[in-house]
Amino acid sequence: MTRRLLIPSLILITGCTVGPDFKKPVVTTPESFTSEKTAALEIQGEASPDWFAGLGDPLLDRLVTDALRANHDLKIAASRVREARALRSAAAGRLLPDVGTSVQGGRGRLSGNAPGNGQLSQAGVLDLTNTLYEAGFDAAWEIDLWGGRRRGIESASARVAASIEQRRDVQVAVIAEVVRNYVELRGLQQRREAVRRNVRIQQDSLTLVEARVRHGLAASLDASRARALLESSRSRLPGLRVAERAAGFRLAVLTGRLPGELLDELDAQRPVLSIPADVPVGLPSQLLTRRPDLRRAEAELHAATAEIGVATAELFPRFSLTGGGGYQSVSTGSLTRSASRVWSLGGLVRFPWFQGGRLRANIEAVKARHEATLIRYEQSVLLALEEVETSIVRFGELQQERMRLNEATEASREALRQARTLYDNGLINYLDVLEAERSLTEIEDRLAASETGVGTAWVALYKALGGGAELTAGS
């Protein structure tokens, strides 16, 4: 009867778990983003996980795929997931008994001068030299009465979830970095092409002016000014080439290649990217589930909550069961005989009466760490909202800038055409033509840079929104 009552009682007791249970934090988010209306963006809808496919560039799609497979930051993040899972398994193993086996043998000699040993030895009762062989097992099990170890498993499981979200966050960052560098590289190629186009125009103008100078129809000053403008435009090419090469090197490293491996392929294909005008930004509250960094912060808060239970359990008595059995004999021949059997069974209760305040101080430290983790989570939400708001404003305003620069470029081209006509008819001096050419060069460069800025702002907005729908590759 006693045994029937003991087992259910033990199960009931082991169901006790000290420490607070985790509750998902309640955070306040606005009903909508402040900037969404001014940016004229689509509000509803979820972004696709392959949002970058909106650029319609197969090479970019392949580069992203390569990065997800070979990027070193992602490999490091995957290793950390495996580490967290191993630590969770180790924490779960602490709930089970420790069982070990041992086999040993030894030979020793007692002192003949120890009290009584000499007389017993001379009488033939005691052999000072002896041999002993042992074989058996031992087991120990600390009963998790207060749930400290179960809280440890809970904390380790939350750490696993945090590591998975960390890897997904790295995925989002890697994809965004690949797309951003690709957009910048294509933009730099467009800027270099615009400069080369204007260099050709200015070279033709210089040739024309030099011919007029030879025939006495223009002053040599006009030729000097035309050459100065031509060389100034040419001077822009090396800097753009360096930046373009740097973007190509970066793309190669992001995809796990040597820096120069992609240059020929990137030079051979030069598509003009068309950045979509709309992004489905969704609702602010959706950020809590869409952004991996916020899910990671929540998992870290869960782990910190469980750690309070781990520390609190140290205040309570610890109950352990121990046992062992095996064989012990002075010779191997009789080691396995029934007369050589030994066994033991016992229990241990340890009360932490005095620890110098260490246990309670540790609890306070864990609680303070939990509080800091909660504050960090709340701050992460605010920073995420800020990042999205800023990205929305930047994307919308840069689109307006690009539209105005498009109009300015058309006007500058028409101004240059009219200036040349007037100059050919002798109605204006060549300085006006040079000014029109200089204005066109600057406007076209600003337009190409603005188009690149729109592209990078588009990437930044998707990244701020969490990089599209849930990324599950390799989870």
29-83 confidence digits (pLDDT tens)? 888 887 665 555 554 555 566 788 888 889 999 999 999 999 999 999 999 999 9
Per DSSP, 56 falls in state -
In a domain, 2, yes or no: no
Which residue type sits at 244? E
Alpha-carbon span 231 to 245, nearest angstrom? 22
The per-residue b/e assignment along 78-103, b for 16 or more CB within 10 angstroms, e otherwise, is bebbeebbebbeebeeeeeeeeeeee
pLDDT, position 84: 95
Q: How many domains does the chain have?
A: 2
Q: Parallel, antiparallel, or unpaired: how do β-strands 129-143 and 318-329 relate?
A: antiparallel
Residue 317 contacts residue 351 (beta carbons within 8 Å): yes
Q: Which residue is it, tokens 């109605």?
A: 427
pLDDT in tens, 234-293: 999 999 999 999 999 999 999 999 999 999 999 887 787 888 887 878 788 888 888 999
Chain centroid to CA 369: 22
Is the residue at 470 inside a domain?
A: no
Whether 473 is in a domain gets the answer: no
* Upper half-sphere CA count for residue 250 (Cβ side, 13 Å): 18
Residue 196 lies in a domain: yes
385 and 405 assigned to the same domain: yes
Measured N-to-C along each axis, helices 148-214 and 236-254 cross at an angle, to the nearest 10 degrees, of 150
253 plus 127 within the same structural domain:
no
Looking at the structure, do residues 333 and 405 belong to the same domain, yes or no?
no
Domain-terminating residue out of 351, 371, 396: 351
**Which CATH number goes with the domain that contains 104?**
2.20.200.10
Q: Are residues 129 and 158 located together in one domain of the fold?
A: no
Residue that has been written with the tokens 């406007």 in this structure = 443
Query: Is 335 a residue whose pLDDT tops 90?
Result: no
Q: Report whether 101 contacts 137 (CB < 8 A).
A: yes
Do 190 and 202 lie in one domain? The reply is: yes
Domain match, 82 and 153 both: yes
- The parent domain of residue 71 ranges over 15-95+144-316+361-464
* Whether the Cβ atoms of residue 391 and residue 287 lie closer than 8 Å to each other: no
Choose among 267, 201, 220: nearest CA to 419: 201
| Average of per-residue pLDDT across 316-341 | 79
Say if residue 160 is in the same domain as residue 294.
Answer: yes
Which position has the higher pLDDT, 455 or 337?
455
As a whole number, mean pLDDT of residues 101-125 equals 73
Cβ 341 vs Cβ 327: under 8 Å: yes
Q: Looking at 297, 329, 351, which one is the last position of a domain?
A: 351
For residues 460 and 387, what is the distance between their CA atoms, to the nearest angstrom? Answer: 9
The tally of CA atoms less than 13 A away on the side-chain side of residue 338 is 0
- Which helix H or strand E contains 134, and what residues bound it? strand 129-143
Are residues 62 and 184 located together in one domain of the fold?
Answer: yes
- pTM exceeds cut of 0.75: yes
Asked if the structure places residue 471 within a domain, the reply is no
The phi and psi torsions of 109 (rounded to 5 degrees) equal: -135, 135
Claim to verify: residue 29 and residue 85 sit in the same structural domain: yes
Closest CA to 67 of 231, 281, 331, 254: 254
| Domain stop point among 298, 330, 351 | 351
pLDDT band at 348; cut points 50, 70, 90? confident
Q: Which has more confidence, 34 or 316?
A: 316
Q: Does residue 287 share a domain with residue 194?
A: yes
CATH number for 413: 1.20.1600.10
Structure tokens at 102: 């041992």
pLDDT of 383 reads 95
Whether residue 288 is found in the same domain as residue 334: no
In a domain? residue 9: no
Residue 10 lies in a domain: no
Residue 313 to residue 18: CA distance in whole angstroms: 6
**pLDDT tier at 354 (50, 70, 90 boundaries)?**
confident
The residues pairing with 327 across neighbouring beta strands, listed in sequence order, are 135, 341
Whether residues 199 and 329 share a domain: the answer is no
Q: Where does the pLDDT of residue 94 fall: very low under 50, low under 70, confident under 90, or very high at 90 and above?
A: confident
Residue 410 lies in a domain: yes
For residue 15, the model assigns a pLDDT of 56
- Give the H or E element holding residue 102: strand 98-109
